[in-house]
Amino acid sequence: MTDTTDRYTFDEDDVVVTHEKSYAAGVPAVLVSLRRGLEQMGPVRTARTLFKLNQRDGFDCPGCAWPETPGHRKHAEFCENGAKAVAEEATTRTVTPPFFAEHSVAELLGKTEFWLGQQGRLTHPMVLLPGATHYEPIGWDAAFAMIAGELRALGSPDEAVFYTSGRTSNEAAFVYQLMIRAFGTNNLPDCSNMCHESSGSALVETIGIGKGSVTVPDIENADLILIAGQNPGTNHPRMLSTLEKAKGNGAKVIAINPLPEAGLLRFKDPQKVHGVVGNGVQIADEFLQIRIGGDQALFQGLGRLLLEEEDRNPGTVIDRDFIDRHTAGFDDYAAAIRQVDLDTVVQATGLTLAQIQQTAQALIASKKTIICWAMGLTQQTHGVATIQDAVNLLLLQGMIGKPGAGVCPVRGHSNVQGDRTMGIWEKMPEPFLTALDTEFGIRSPRRHGWDAVDSIRAMRDGKASVFVGMGGNFVSATPDTDTTEAALRNCALTVQVSTKLNRSHLVTGRTGLILPSLGRTDKDVQSGRKQQVSVEDSMSVVHLSRGSLPPASDQLRSEVAIVCGIAQALFGPDHPVPWQEFAADYDRIRDSIARVIPGFEDFNRKVRAPDGFALPHPPRDERRFDTSTGKANFTVNALSWLPVPAGKLILQTMRSHDQYNTTIYGLDDRYRGVKGGRRVLFINTDDLAALGFTDGDRVDLVSEWTTPDGTVQERRAGDFRLVPYPTPVGNVAAYYPETNPLIPLDHVAAVSNTPVSKAVLIRLERRS
Ligand SMILES: Nc1nc2c(c(=O)[nH]1)N[C@H]1C(S)=C(S)[C@@H](COP(=O)(O)OP(=O)(O)OC[C@H]3O[C@@H](n4cnc5c(=O)[nH]c(N)nc54)[C@H](O)[C@@H]3O)O[C@H]1N2
Ligand SMILES: Nc1nc2c(c(=O)[nH]1)N[C@H]1C(S)=C(S)[C@@H](COP(=O)(O)OP(=O)(O)OC[C@H]3O[C@@H](n4cnc5c(=O)[nH]c(N)nc54)[C@H](O)[C@@H]3O)O[C@H]1N2
Ligand SMILES: [Mo]
């Protein structure tokens, strides 16, 4: 157990809590976007980038995976936080070899993620040699040779782990997984393991595909939209415009969240005049302030109420025809759900019976219902079961595969869904591997690989000793920071392909490599020709992205070029995969993708259509369900919820308005009224009084984890300021990644193995 206080201590420690009521977006949002752009890029680059963002001839926003409205791209199709993401990447500040000569790794380890990120773009490949105190420059070929040498020296290809973050383009992801499988392992952990894995697990079993079934027009035309465990005002701001349109068309929106998030309660669209000068639109018609982990109980309770109403008025609630024709398992589900105890549901959710009954009435009244969700549901021990109970509700009323209805897991990283489609997964199914082998004359391994949590265990236990990160910040994004750092330090070699400096560059194996890559906004020229890449959004639309800015240095290479460079060093000149041609012309990669992945036939032509093309989605397109039964499956899930032990609290770890995952843009969380610091704990005033604290007190957070043999482990994160906040009694909230040291590695969701970042048992200790 270590105190992590100094790991994330702030340069500025004066947190100001304003309690100001703030609208999401509106004039302040526009001003913030412009200010961040000007600070990081200067006026010319600001204008050049912001006008190319999400335009047909421009680049895909590296912010979130929310789709552009087809055919209706406005001139400024971006949001405040998309603009911040761009400013962060397109910054003119640089981290050069003299920077690394000046700052030792030990010194940099004392800096915050905020400070590290603010230093600018990485410009040169750098190496940290065994025993060295400083990174030093290394040539690209020497770096590739070093990686190839370490990989070849392993006892088995399974001793290497290849991580991917979700910004990687389809083309880079495809060649990356191809190199890894040709090398001989399926160890492909990705950020999705920590993100929407629970959604994928739940949806594959129930509807046969792990992707959302709705489009933007579906949302715009829905009658009822439930938004559970998601904070779109901060994390998917463009979704608010879609929701506003839906409301204009008469939709009812119900927000299900422990916190009254600003974006859901009020929103001003900066792209509309009335948005700028008016009072904002109330997005949510109802706010269900649920207790952390109470969603499964809510969905089960609603299932019971729907069935009872159907009993009273047969033929008015459930869609019998859909159930008979398209589903399996209804009788078992109905029998189980009728037994659900509504008193338990009330206790688990913290809602009143009247609120739950009203929600049931809204479902009954709706002919087109959509359920949207994100991390509040997926990062729970019972996340998969919770999502399956949401699917059960939709199946009851035939809400899948018809316009205006369906499931909507709102993805995080801008190409996280596309990376999965391209094969970034530790357990890709057989048809994909067969097609890959046929296309390239290789033999992909069949044994499933390690996901993120299992990769950490493998490195910790000495079973893996090379780590390669394609983007991301593995050390800070994963749970149990002390364990994860020790695991990486246990490696012979760690390699980070990155755009910006982060903590994962400082916690290395015996040798550490930093390979600087082009980002979304950068112009990518290979063999004299400008290249373009493609991405897939949260609604399965694939389209092109073209960067246009001059790169931060002439040393930067594209992710595709870096992968092909490593592959050539690893496999030599006589390999069946045409690495050199792939690196020279991304159309060649797309031609192979077209032959390997269903839905990508004629890829190069289709992707050049102005808005790209939509991938097939059998449940949405034709109510076809490729499941074990050939039908959509109702599931019976044991009810789980989270009682709070006396004197303890349940902590959710979430994003502020001023960060992108582990990249910290600034120290404010405008919508929650916090300024100038991130070590805050949002707590209900009743808990504050009951535990003997007052507003502004400083505490340490101590998590308590009981291992299978009954031992209680403690983990600690030091010095948080208490902030009274309207969160449910017993439920507290703080920001990630500062709180990751508190999350035990073994605290994972059933089935999906996703770290449970939204429900950590803690107690508070007064700082003396
Ligand atoms: N600006 C910006 N945009 C981003 C990101 C970013 O960091 N910054 N990250 C991107 C990524 S990778 C992702 S995955 C998405 C994340 O998008 P979100 O899932 O919106 O992100 P979180 O901040 O984790 O917010 C979780 C929400 O769930 C609520 N919640 C917590 N526990 C529960 C619960 O038990 N039940 C319910 N019903 N709600 C609960 C929280 O109060 C919070 O509103 O955003 C993407 N977009
Ligand atoms: N406690 C807690 N932990 C969480 C979560 C939580 O809610 N709570 N959320 C989880 C979720 S949903 C996710 S998705 C993960 C995120 O995990 P990651 O994806 O690993 O983390 P990011 O912070 O998004 O990665 C940022 C880094 O990516 C690099 N980068 C940015 N753009 C590019 C690019 O175009 N190419 C390359 N090569 N590199 C690039 C930069 O160097 C930057 O420092 O964190 C997870 N961890
Ligand atoms: Mo995510």
35-93 confidence digits (pLDDT tens): 777 777 777 777 767 666 666 677 888 877 888 766 544 444 567 788 888 888 888 89
pLDDT of residue 3: 37
C-beta of residue 459 within 8 angstroms of C-beta of residue 509: no
**Domains of the chain by start residue, with CATH:** 24-89 (no CATH), 94-186+444-517+556-584 (3.40.50.740), 199-409 (3.40.228.10), 649-766 (2.40.40.20)
Task: Report which ligand 2 atom has the smallest distance to the Cα of 412.
Answer: 14
Number of the ligand closest to the Cα of 551: 2
pLDDT of residue 83: 80
Residues in the chain: 768
Task: Report which ligand 1 atom has the smallest distance to the Cα of 380.
Answer: 35
Instruction: Give CA 7 to chain center in angstroms.
Output: 24
Tokens of 485: 């750092």
User: What one-character DSSP code corresponds to residue 619?
Assistant: H
pLDDT of residue 7: 38
594 C-alpha to center of ligand 1: Å? 34
Number of the ligand closest to the Cα of 65: 1
> What's the sign of the alpha-carbon dihedral 19, 21, 27, 30?
positive
pLDDT of residue 458: 98
> Whose CA is closest to atom 30 on ligand 1?
376
275-297 confidence digits (pLDDT tens): 444 456 788 999 999 999 999 99
260-269 confidence digits (pLDDT tens): 998 887 766 6
366 pLDDT band, cuts 50/70/90, is: very high
Spatial distance between the Cα atoms of 352 and 347, rounded to a whole number of angstroms? 9
675 C-alpha to center of ligand 2: Å? 23
424-468 confidence digits (pLDDT tens): 999 999 999 999 999 999 999 999 999 999 999 999 999 999 999
685-715 confidence digits (pLDDT tens): 999 999 999 999 999 999 999 999 999 999 9
Tell me the CA distances in angstroms from 696 to 9, 216, 674, one per residue in order. 17, 43, 12
Span 626-642, average pLDDT: 98
Other beta carbons within 10 Å of 260: 16
113 C-alpha to center of ligand 2: Å? 12
Tokens of 250: 């008469």
Task: Report which ligand 2 atom has the smallest distance to the Cα of 519.
Answer: 35
Pocket test for ligand 2, best of 194, 231, 456, 505 (most atoms within 8 A of CB): 194
In the predicted structure, residue 1 carries a pLDDT above the cut 60: no
Angle at 410 (CA atoms; ends 171, 471), nearest 5 degrees:
40
Task: Report which ligand 1 atom has the smallest distance to the Cα of 261.
Answer: 44
From 42, 56, 44, 50, select the one nearest 85 (Cα to Cα): 50
Q: Specify which residues 715 forms β-bridges with.
A: 703
C-beta of residue 239 within 8 angstroms of C-beta of residue 231: no
pLDDT of residue 272: 62
C-beta of residue 419 within 8 angstroms of C-beta of residue 168: yes
Spatial distance between the Cα atoms of 522 and 703, rounded to a whole number of angstroms? 42
Number of the ligand closest to the Cα of 236: 1
pLDDT of residue 724: 96
Q: Ligand 2 site: residues with CB under 6 angstroms? A: 165-167, 191, 194-195, 375, 379, 412-413, 470-474, 477, 497-500, 502, 517, 519-520, 559, 653, 661-663, 736, 739-740, 743, 757
> Whose CA is closest to atom 22 on ligand 2?
472
> Whose CA is closest to atom 45 on ligand 2?
477
In the predicted structure, residue 579 carries a pLDDT above the cut 80: yes
> Whose CA is closest to atom 35 on ligand 2?
519
Q: Ligand 1 site: residues with CB under 6 angstroms? A: 63-64, 81, 195, 228-231, 234-236, 256-259, 261, 290, 292-293, 295, 374-376, 380, 412-413, 652, 654-655, 659-661, 758
Question: Of all helices (H) and strands (E), which one includes residue 18?
Answer: none
215 pLDDT band, cuts 50/70/90, is: very high
- Which residue is it, tokens 């899930």? 637
The dihedrals phi and psi of 651, each to the nearest 5 degrees, come to: -100, 130
Span 581-599, average pLDDT: 98
Judged by average pLDDT, the poorest of 56-70, 103-117, 230-244, 727-741 is: 56-70
pLDDT of residue 74: 45
The alpha carbons of the chain give a radius of gyration, in whole angstroms, of 25
Task: Report which ligand 2 atom has the smallest distance to the Cα of 663.
Answer: 23
pLDDT of residue 14: 62
pLDDT of residue 78: 64
63 C-alpha to center of ligand 1: Å? 13
Give the residue, 270 or 293, on which the prediction is more confident: 293
pLDDT of residue 6: 35
Note every long-range contact of 430-435, with CB atoms under 8 Å and residues 24 or more positions apart, other chains counting: 432/596, 432/597, 433/181, 435/595, 435/596, 435/597
> Whose CA is closest to atom 13 on ligand 1?
412
Pocket test for ligand 1, best of 79, 84, 114, 235 (most atoms within 8 A of CB): 235
pLDDT of residue 77: 55
Which pairing describes strands 369-373 and 649-654: parallel, antiparallel, or unpaired? unpaired
In three-state secondary structure terms, 132 is coil
User: How high is the mean pLDDT of the chain?
Assistant: 92
473-495 confidence digits (pLDDT tens): 999 999 999 999 999 999 999 99
Task: Report which ligand 1 atom has the smallest distance to the Cα of 166.
Answer: 12
